[in-house]
Amino acid sequence: MNRESRHTNAVSRSGDGPAGPSPVPGAPRVKQLLDAIPPASWAVVMGSGIVSIDLYSDHRPVLSAIMLWFTAGVWLLLAVVLGARLAYQRDWFVREACSPASFTGVAGTAVLGTRLAMQNYHVAAAALLVVLGVGWALLLLPVLRHWKTPTAGISFVLSVATEGLAVVGATLAITCRQTLPDICARLDALPAWGMAFRSAVFWTSS
């Protein structure tokens, strides 16, 4: 009898019972917060990064820097959200990875990487180039396999992300030609891929 009581107490303390492990504390609240942030939120990174690039080209360094760090902050926030979704909403994560909207993250990362390369933050830009290259490669086949017709406007982001990958590589190759391998310069075929994807979206939109 005492042995059974000790076993019952141990089970109750561990949180495991006939129904299995107890839910992670705070998980429903985390999921509610994640549901409030749509996948296309990466477009904020893309838009603010483009504004920063334009201000930098217009010789407005202070305003450009403000937009740059805003862009970087939003990118970090969304990166944390992406990791949380992988932990708490894995089914949702896999499903959204098959949607063209998932490429907004790649496109936003490309814009941020381009802006950092222009500012001579070569290490950070090269790291983002690796991240967006891996992301582009992992997302490409699932998105193409689940391509639906007629397509929506968001499908154009596949072309934008592909061309953005080439722009980051080209910008790095120009700004640090002495220290970066020629691999960045070998991305010149990607704009053609981007144009091909753009044509495919036009073709399947009707």
Q: Please state whether 149 falls in left (phi above 0), alpha (psi between -120 and 50) or beta.
A: beta
Asked whether residue 61 is assigned to any structural domain, the reply reads: yes
Asked whether residue 75 is assigned to any structural domain, the reply reads: yes
Share above pLDDT 70 across residues of the chain, in percent, rounded to a whole number? 66
Asked whether residue 89 is assigned to any structural domain, the reply reads: yes
17 three-class SS: strand
Are the C-beta atoms of 154 and 101 separated by less than 8 Å? yes
Question: C-alpha 38: how far from its chain's center?
Answer: 12
> How confident is the model over 106-159, as pLDDT tens digits?
999 999 999 999 998 988 998 998 898 898 888 888 888 877 777 666 777 888
Domain hosting residue 183, numbered range: 27-32+39-204
The phi, psi pair for 68, rounded to 5°, reads -60, -50
Domain count, the chain: 1
Which band of pLDDT confidence, cut at 50, 70 and 90, is reported for residue 54? very high
Asked whether residue 143 is assigned to any structural domain, the reply reads: yes
Asked whether residue 14 is assigned to any structural domain, the reply reads: no
- Residue 56's CB is within 10 A of a number of other CB atoms, namely 18
Asked whether residue 15 is assigned to any structural domain, the reply reads: no
pTM, entire model: 0.73
Which band of pLDDT confidence, cut at 50, 70 and 90, is reported for residue 206? low
Q: Poorest-confidence range of 4-8, 50-54, 151-155?
A: 4-8
Asked whether residue 4 is assigned to any structural domain, the reply reads: no
